[in-house]
Amino acid sequence: MINLVIFGPPGAGKGTQATNLAKAYQLIHLSTGEILRDEIAEGTETGLIAKEIIDRGELVPDDLVIELIRHQLDNNPLAKGFLFDGFPRTLPQAEALDNLLVHYGRSVSAMLSLEVEKEQLLARLINRGNSSGRSDDANRSVIENRIEVYNQKTAPLISYYSKVGKYERINGIGTVQEITDRLKAIIERLPLNKRSH
Ligand code: ADP
């Protein structure tokens, strides 16, 4: 059993790589960004709360995303493993994930961190904004705010996972296939005791 966190700033390519890895290792791909966008599209109460926050480039409250993840774990008791994409994004979320996984007899096997420089992130997100239809990709100051929020609230998770030897750094520059290959090479050499939990 393997439970992976794909990590990195907005525009690092988490979603694309998560899709490839989930397929390759038969993992359930849980993207909190996607789940929230679905909630918004369906006009649920959660969606209504989330929309305005996402459009500003801020983070939705921890309790809310933790509940979404809990729900997904509850609904997939037979999963071979999970691939968390865009979660955790704060220290309380990381602690909540550890606690939730303990409850299910699981643990995070590794945090795969895609590293891309800020200039490149900005260029990618502005470019994506032309086609994604995502309101939070459409405006340069919102994009810059998301990167700022990442630096302040999310980047500290690197030391959280590094302390327990689970932080894996991946160069996020290259073709999609090259980066998938780098990620797979790391997954293949994860110690069995971490993979089997
Ligand atoms: P990206 O990583 O490109 O910003 P995501 O789809 O992961 O895209 O997230 C889009 C937005 O959804 C975030 O800017 C944030 O507002 C919200 N969001 C997603 N996941 C979380 C989370 N774990 N905690 C708080 N907010 C989140």
What average pLDDT does the segment 91-102 reach?
A: 97
Q: Break the chain into its structural domains and give their ranges.
A: 2-116+154-195
State residue 196's pLDDT score: 43
- Vertex 6: Cα angle to 146 and 76 (nearest 5): 115
Beta-bridge partner residues of 187: none
Evaluate if residue 45 carries a pLDDT over 50: yes
Find where tokens 């030897």 sit. Answer: 165
- Digit-coded pLDDT (tens) for 11-27: 999 999 999 999 999 99
Q: How far is the CA of 24 from the centre of ligand 1 (A)?
A: 24
Q: Give residue 19's pLDDT.
A: 98
Architecture of domain 2-116+154-195: 3-Layer(aba) Sandwich (3.40)
Average pLDDT, the chain: 94
Is the CB–ligand 1 distance for residue 30 below 6 Å?
A: no
Mind telling me the catalytic residues?
Answer: 14, 89, 128, 134, 146
3-state secondary structure of 116: coil
Q: What is the pLDDT of residues 105-164, one digit of tens each?
A: 899 999 999 999 999 999 999 999 888 888 898 889 999 999 999 999 999 999 999 999
- Is residue 194 over pLDDT 60? no
What is the predicted pLDDT for the residue at 1?
82
| Residue 146 CB–ligand 1 contact under 6 Å | yes
